[in-house]
């Protein structure tokens, strides 16, 4: 999973239609559903513009594009034909939407061309604009939770955090006394919280010394709040009491 998947999972915050063929009736139905039913913005992206450009360039000149030999006139003609082809629909109409051109860059000569990235920079700016103008608190909350889960799962898969084996062995040895096996399990979970910066030290240490965790102090300072019904444990209960 990458950050693009996280964005798509967060209530479809950004939805993209990827085009490789001319805009079809199915694309039109999807576009209307996304914009009218889901009330989301849906940029159109043509994903293989470089291949289409190469085809039109060869049709016009009879030769493959070569950066050191091809002149600007032939390049501009091929670009014009490429863009005209992309904005035409299956029924030979012209799109009323902007289409962002991107490339797969499989040709070395074309990859080094000054226009080879096409609209990639423009598309990145569009994503930033959508993020700034369409930020809903609920989606941001979901995105934060998904990102946290992604980081934690990655760390566990790669063994970056706390190995719980020793705590399980201690729990197995302590199981001869009722409920004593919960103590090693608690220490194992607490070490994981410390590894991720949720706690600086054990809660009992804070209680005795009268200190607070730096993460708690930060959240309290910024006046973050969490609805109590969203909590799965009591570790962030202090965020429900901020006034």
Collapsing DSSP to helix, strand or coil, 106 comes out as coil
Which pLDDT tens digits describe the chain residue by residue (243 residues)? Answer: 343 443 444 444 577 888 888 888 888 888 888 888 877 778 888 888 888 888 898 888 888 888 777 788 888 898 889 889 888 888 888 888 888 888 876 666 677 777 878 888 888 888 877 776 665 666 667 777 777 777 777 666 655 555 555 556 665 666 666 666 666 667 767 777 777 777 888 887 888 888 888 888 888 888 888 888 877 777 788 888 755
Please give the Cα distance from 43 to 32 (Å, whole number).
12
Give Cα 185 to chain centroid, integer Å. 34
In contact, 57 and 116? CB cutoff 8 Å: no
pTM of the predicted structure, to 2 decimals? 0.48
In contact, 20 and 87? CB cutoff 8 Å: no
């Amino acid at each position: 999973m990458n950050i693009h998947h996280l964005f798509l999972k967060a209530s479809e915050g950004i939805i993209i239609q990827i085009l490789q063929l001319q805009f079809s009736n199915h694309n039109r139905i999807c576009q209307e559903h996304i914009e009218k039913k889901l009330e989301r913005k849906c940029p159109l992206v043509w994903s293989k513009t470089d291949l289409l450009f190469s085809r039109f360039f060869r049709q016009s000149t009879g030769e493959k594009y070569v950066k050191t030999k091809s002149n600007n006139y032939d390049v501009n003609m091929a670009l014009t034909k490429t863009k005209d082809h992309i904005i035409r629909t299956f029924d030979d109409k012209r799109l009323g939407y902007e289409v962002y051109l991107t490339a797969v860059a499989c040709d070395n000569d074309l990859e080094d061309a000054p226009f080879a990235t096409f609209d990639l920079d423009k598309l990145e700016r569009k994503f930033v604009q959508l993020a700034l103008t369409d930020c809903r608190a609920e989606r941001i909350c979901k995105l934060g939770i998904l990102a946290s889960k992604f980081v934690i799962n990655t760390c566990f898969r790669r063994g970056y955090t706390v190995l719980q084996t020793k705590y399980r062995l201690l729990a197995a040895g302590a199981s001869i006394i009722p409920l004593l096996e919960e103590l090693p399990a608690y220490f194992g979970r607490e070490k994981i919280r410390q590894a991720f910066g949720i706690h600086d030290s054990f809660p009992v240490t804070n209680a005795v010394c009268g200190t607070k965790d730096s993460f708690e102090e930060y959240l309290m300072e910024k006046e973050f709040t969490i609805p109590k019904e969203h909590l799965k444990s009591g570790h962030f209960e202090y965020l429900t009491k901020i006034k």
